[in-house]
Amino acid sequence: MVFRLVLGREGTVSREDVEKVLGHDGRRGLFSPELLRQRRIEDLVTQLEREHLVQLHADNGGDLEAMARVLGITVRALYGRFGRLGLRPGDL
C-alpha cells in the first residue's frame, strides 16, 4: 500500500489518495480483505505493478523517459514491463 501511495507522487499523500487505494469504506479497494483472501500473492503483485504503471503514465503525461527515471530502470526495461503486463503505452 505504501508503494502505491508514495512512489511516483510529489508532495503529501491526501485522504483521497488513501481512499483510492483502500476504498471509501476500507473494504472495496485494491487491498480489501475480500480481495486479499481470494487472490494469490503473485496475482496481487502483478495487479499492483499494472496499476502503478498506469498511474505513473498518467502522472507523467505519457513521458516514458520520466517514468523510467521514477522507477530507476531504462526505457527498454519499461517496455519489457509493459509487455509482460499486457499493457501498451499508446492505449493508456
Verdict on whether the full-model pTM lies above 0.75: no
Which three cell numbers, joined as nine digits, stand for 54? Answer: 498506469
Q: What is the mean pLDDT of residues 11-22?
A: 66
- The span from the CA of 57 to the CA of 59, in Å, is 6
Grid coordinates 473494504 are at which residue? 27
Q: What Å distances lie between residue 14 and 20, 21, 24, CA to CA?
A: 10, 11, 13
Q: How confident is the model over 20-58, as pLDDT tens digits? A: 666 555 445 666 777 677 778 888 888 889 989 999 999
| Structural domain total, the chain | 1
The parent domain of residue 56 ranges over 2-91
Q: What Å distances lie between residue 8 and 24, 27, 28, 48, 67, CA to CA?
A: 22, 24, 23, 13, 8
Looking at the predicted structure, is the pLDDT value of residue 2 above 70?
Answer: no
